[in-house]
């Protein structure tokens, strides 16, 4: 990264264009003022997932919020890999880690799914959203992944786009994920499905395996925690199909 550019990078939901003004919420203003010790005249970088990344100058910061004026564009918008993560929610600490790392690894959508053996059914989407925003800001990604409300597994697969291959990670007999990925066209859309701590039940396994777009896959001989399995699967997918490939 260019060291002369401001280190602070914020996600805003408003459009960004030279000469425009962007509003900061109370949390962002607090962060700039009290954590990063910025004041009017200082520079920040902004992105909104649509218009690229922009240099901006702080106009004012207060307890209620702040304002910045947008200057020159630093980076054009680029598309991140088209990778969804469907996962049965786990407890708070591993869930927070899972969301943070999945965003760093480039997922475009996080979908909590309720399976038959899911124990944790309540998910604080606002907290996960805040974690996703922070991870996107820190990792320099250009897009903001969507964190969806939890839905039943069957509902999540309703109207599933036929071209999006669903890698259903299973501890039972299944081909290694690295091998299964070899038949995917580079850059094609994909999804990873991770089960709950108790795993998928036999009926779910059978149903999933029969779906034309789903491929049961193994992540090796050891039983991984759900969050470890999710991150391992995302790394494999990004390396074989996503934006970790050379020339991607």
Span interacting with ligand SAM, options 42-50, 100-108, 138-146, 213-221, rule CB under 6 A = 213-221
Q: How far is the CB of 13 from ligand SAM (least distance, A)?
A: 33
Instruction: Tell which one of 107, 194, 214, 231 touches ligand SAM (CB under 6 A).
Output: 194
169 binds ligand SAM per the rule CB under 6 A: yes
Among the listed residues 103, 136, 219, 234, the single contact to ligand SAM using CB under 6 A: 219
165-169/214-217 β-pairing: parallel
Q: What angle do CA 243, 182, 114 make, to 5 degrees?
A: 75
Shortest CB 218 distance to ligand SAM, Å: 5
Smaller CB separation from ligand SAM, 221 or 247: 221
Residue 200 touches ligand SAM, criterion: CB under 6 A: yes
Which CB, 24 or 169, lies closer to ligand SAM? Answer: 169
Q: Which of 171, 178, 189, 243 touches ligand SAM (CB under 6 A)? A: 171
Helix (H) / strand (E) containing 228: helix 226-240
At 20, give phi and psi (nearest 5°): -75, 170
Contacting range for ligand SAM; rule: CB under 6 A; set: 40-48, 101-109, 131-139, 223-231: 223-231
Helices (H) and strands (E) in the chain, counts: 7, 12
Name the 3-class secondary structure at 40: coil
The rounded distance, in Å, linking the Cα atoms of 246 and 39 is 41
3-state secondary structure of 238: helix
- Contact flag: residue 195 with ligand SAM (CB under 6 A): yes
> Does position 12 bind ligand SAM by CB under 6 A?
no
Give the pairing of strands 53-61 and 43-47. Answer: antiparallel
For the chain, the straight-line distance linking the first and the last C-alpha, in angstroms and rounded, comes to 19
Residue of 40, 63, 220, 245 interacting with ligand SAM (CB under 6 A): 220
Helix (H, G, I), strand (E, B), or coil: what is residue 101? helix
Q: Pick the closer one to ligand SAM by CB: 86 or 142.
A: 86
Distance, CA of 180 to CA of 167 (rounded, Å): 9
Question: What dihedral angle (degrees, nearest 10) is formed by the CA atoms of 35, 39, 42, 43?
Answer: 50
CB closer to ligand SAM out of 156 and 226:
226
- Residue 14 contacts ligand SAM per CB under 6 A: no
Mark out the alpha helices in 60-141 (DSSP H runs): 92-104, 125-139
Which residue of 199, 208, 234, 241 would you call a contact of ligand SAM, by CB under 6 A?
199
153 binds ligand SAM, rule: CB under 6 A: no
| Footprint of ligand SAM (CB under 6 A) | 169-171, 194-195, 197-200, 218-220, 222-226, 229
């Amino acid at each position: 990264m260019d060291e002369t550019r401001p280190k602070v990078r914020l996600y805003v939901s408003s459009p960004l264009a030279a000469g425009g003004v962007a509003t900061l919420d109370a949390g962002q203003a607090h962060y700039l003022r009290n954590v990063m010790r910025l004041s009017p005249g200082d520079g920040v970088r902004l992105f909104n997932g649509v218009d690229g990344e922009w240099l901006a100058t702080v106009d004012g910061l207060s307890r209620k919020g702040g304002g910045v004026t947008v200057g020159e564009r630093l980076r054009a918008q680029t598309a991140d890999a088209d990778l969804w993560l469907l996962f049965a929610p786990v407890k708070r600490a591993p869930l927070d880690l899972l969301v943070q790392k999945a965003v760093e690894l480039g997922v475009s959508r996080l979908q909590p799914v309720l399976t038959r053996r899911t124990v944790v059914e309540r998910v604080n989407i606002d907290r996960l959203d805040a974690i996703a925003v922070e991870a996107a800001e820190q990792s320099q990604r250009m897009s903001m992944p969507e964190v969806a409300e939890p839905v039943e597994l069957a509902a999540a697969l309703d109207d599933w786009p036929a071209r999006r291959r669903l890698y259903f990670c299973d501890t039972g007999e299944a081909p290694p994920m690295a091998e299964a990925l070899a038949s995917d066209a580079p850059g094609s859309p994909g999804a990873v499905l991770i089960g709950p701590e108790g795993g998928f039940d036999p009926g779910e396994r059978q149903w999933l395996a029969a779906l034309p777009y789903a491929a049961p896959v193994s992540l090796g001989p050891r039983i991984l925690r759900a969050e470890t399995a999710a991150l391992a699967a995302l790394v494999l997918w990004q390396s074989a199909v996503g934006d970790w490939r050379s020339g991607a």
